[in-house]
Amino acid sequence: MQIAIIAHDAKKELMVQFCSAYCSILSKHSLCATNTTGRIVSEATGLNIKKYLSGKGGAEQILALLSCNEVDVLLFFRDPINHNANEAKQDMNLLRLCDVHNVPVATNIATAEALIFALERGDLDWRENGKPLI
């Protein structure tokens, strides 16, 4: 499974803690992230993470992957309190594409834990079986 990881600045440490706690599950999958988030998670956990550009560029690259239905799970720890209009629009585009392609998405640690346990049980295997061959 391809898991994309994004975290707003105020949630990066929480993402590190989450990925550290579930490193054994995450290590069984392909991971990608925006550059800064990917770098700090990788340094803290040793996970192999494909890193995209920093800032908006990386999120836009992950948007492109979502557009092509190449992401199976999105872990997107958002800061609902401190964000600007540009971030809000980008956030909505990420969430919209998850809805378009039926990509399970977690925007907080509670749903992330539910998804990680579902992933471990195989409950999300339908994502791999239902993808068209390109």
Name beta bridge partners: 4: 32, 74
Q: Identify the H or E element spanning 2.
A: strand 2-7
pLDDT at 56: 67
Judge whether 34 and 58 are in contact, CB under 8 Å.
Answer: yes
> What's the rounded Cα separation, in Å, for the pair 29 and 95?
21
Judge whether 103 and 73 are in contact, CB under 8 Å.
Answer: yes
pLDDT at 114: 97
Q: Considering the entire predicted model, what is its pTM?
A: 0.92
pLDDT at 131: 60
> What's the rounded Cα separation, in Å, for the pair 134 and 72?
16
pLDDT at 57: 86
Judge whether 53 and 34 are in contact, CB under 8 Å.
Answer: yes
Token readout for 133 is 């061959």
Token readout for 56 is 């908006």
CA nearest 1: which of 37, 34, 25?
Answer: 25
pLDDT at 122: 92
- pLDDT below 70 — which residues of the chain? 55-56, 130-134
Domains of the chain: 2-125 (3.40.50.1380)
